[in-house]
Amino acid sequence: MAELDGAGNVVSRFVYATRGNVPDYMEKGGSTYRSLKVSGTSFQLATTVTFDAASGVTVSGPPQ
């Protein structure tokens, strides 16, 4: 599934693999965001990690 801008360009892409109703990850602006499932608690995102094509970490830090 994808989010498009007014001109029809892909802005973000949502990838569904293991759960039918929640994306496993989202790609937007050159970054990949992994979806986490947490049951019975609330949480706040503590860090973001960006991977290159070879799955090497290129950026790790607080959410932007």
| Residue spans per domain, the chain | 2-61
Interval 21-33: pLDDT, tens: 878 888 888 888 8
pTM exceeds 0.75, yes or no = no
Lowest-confidence segment of 11-15, 28-32, 37-41 by average pLDDT: 37-41
Q: pLDDT averaged over the chain?
A: 75
Q: What angle do CA 20, 61, 22 make, to 5 degrees?
A: 5
Taking a C-beta distance cutoff of 8 angstroms, is the pair 48, 41 a contact? no
What are the angstrom distances between the C-alpha of 45 and each of 20, 39, 49, 54? Answer: 23, 15, 11, 25
- Whether residue 7 has pLDDT greater than 90: yes
SS3 content of the chain, % helix, strand, coil (to 5): 0, 40, 60
Cα distance between residue 3 and residue 44, in whole Å: 24
Mean of pLDDT values over 38-44: 63
